[in-house]
Amino acid sequence: MAYTPRGDSIAIGDLNLQDNGSDEVPWPGNTYIIQDRRSKRSIYSYNGISMTSGTGGYSHWLCVESRGYFGFFNKENNQYLSFQNDRIQMASDFGSRELFSPRRHPMGGYLLMVPHGSDTLKQVGILCDETTLVARHHAGAIWDFIQVSELR
């Protein structure tokens, strides 16, 4: 049986997105390890932000939502993933610098976008030292969101 779209539908091209099954769709209320697809290193929060190959509690991020954006809260240190002056860092309050927007990548995973001004989004990327996270216009990292269970 062939599917024929209704006359009022819009064709938007081939949506054949690839997914390797290792990542989840980020959603408020769930906890994730946010892992760089290339290096398999995770965003880690202990005495600041860094990248690590570990998977302990300091790399677990509760996804929260505000004004249509997502935020990521680390229960181990009671802080949010944040950005200021194009550097990714930590903050104790959930405000405008703690807003993120995951955008699905055609090859699987997500670009992690942050608002820049009133009409621009920047991508979260990793500097060549492989530990420093930055916000920039191009060449952001592709991130996998790996859901983890939290003991309540």
Residue 139 pLDDT: 83
Q: What is the band of 18 on the pLDDT scale with cuts at 50, 70, 90?
A: very low
Question: Cα separation of 65 and 46, whole Å?
Answer: 23
Kindly list the distances between the CA atom of residue 78 and the CA atoms of 46, 58, 100, 105, 133, in Å, as whole numbers in the listed order.
Answer: 11, 10, 18, 30, 20
DSSP state of 142: P
Query: Does pTM top 0.75 for this prediction?
Result: yes
Gyration radius of the chain over CA positions: 17
39-69 per-position pLDDT tens digit: 999 999 877 777 777 667 789 999 999 999 9
Domain spanning 31-148 has what CATH number? 2.80.10.50
Contacts of 3 (CB under 8 A, 6+ apart): none
Residue 55 pLDDT: 67
Q: List the chain domain ranges.
A: 31-148
Quick check: helix, strand or coil at residue 61? strand
Question: Cα separation of 109 and 76, whole Å?
Answer: 25
